[in-house]
């Protein structure tokens, strides 16, 4: 097996995450799809780190995880406050800034 297969797998996972973000309506599921995309990129970084024989890729993947954790905390707090105001977690219902 070639190491490249990891990169193809992560490309597929990233694409699935993109389609999920574009098609789903529930804000929390959209957020999960974003997490899936971040995870796919992490797999790419780890594989590149191995291919180049340097640990920098693993460290950047580590930083991506830290930023993702911070992002989830703030994003879920925003979703919760929107839910509190509008009683809905659907991204279609938050349309006050439209037009």
Partner 1 sequence: MSAVLAAGATSTHEAVVFWILAPVSVLAALGLVLVRSAVHAAVLLAVVMLSLAAFYTTEDAPFLAVVQVVVYTGAVLMLFLFVLMLIGVDTADSLVETLRGQRVAAVLLGLGFAVLLVATLAGALGSFHTKGLAAAQADQGNVVAIAEKLFSTYVFAFEATSALLITAGLGAMVLAHRERIEPRRTQKDLMLERVRRGGAGLAPLPGPGVYADHDAIDTPALLPDGSVAPGSVPEHLQVSAATPHTDETVKELGR
- By CB under 8 A, name the one of 86, 89, 94, 99 that touches partner 1: 89
Intra-chain end-to-end CA distance of the chain, in Å: 52
Instruction: Collapse the DSSP code of 34 into the 3-class scheme (helix H, G, I; strand E, B; otherwise coil) and give the result.
Output: helix
Whichever of 66 and 96 has its CB closer to partner 1, that residue is 66
Question: Residue 45 Cβ, how far from partner 1 at the closest point, in Å?
Answer: 9
- Is residue 86 part of the contact set for partner 1 (CB under 8 A)? no
DSSP 49: H
Hey, what are 72's tokens? 């989830």
Question: Residue 12 Cβ, how far from partner 1 at the closest point, in Å?
Answer: 6
- Is residue 74 part of the contact set for partner 1 (CB under 8 A)? yes
Q: Are 45 and 64 in contact (CB under 8 A)?
A: yes
Q: Are 51 and 3 in contact (CB under 8 A)?
A: yes
Question: Residue 56 Cβ, how far from partner 1 at the closest point, in Å?
Answer: 7
**Which positions from 21 through 50 interact with partner 1, judged by CB under 8 A?**
22-26, 28-29, 31-33, 35-36, 39, 42-43, 46-47, 49-50
- Is residue 94 part of the contact set for partner 1 (CB under 8 A)? no
Spatial separation of the C-alpha atoms in residues 86 and 99, rounded to whole Å: 19
């Amino acid at each position: 097996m070639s190491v490249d297969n990891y990169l193809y797998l992560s490309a597929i996972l990233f694409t699935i995450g993109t389609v999920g973000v574009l098609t789903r309506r529930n804000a929390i599921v959209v957020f999960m799809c974003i997490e899936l995309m971040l995870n796919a990129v992490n797999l790419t970084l780890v594989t590149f780190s191995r291919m180049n024989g340097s640990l920098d890729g693993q460290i950047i993947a580590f930083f991506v995880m830290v930023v993702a954790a911070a992002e989830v905390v703030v994003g879920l707090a925003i979703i919760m406050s929107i839910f509190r105001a509008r009683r809905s977690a659907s991204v279609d219902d938050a349309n006050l800034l439209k037009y």
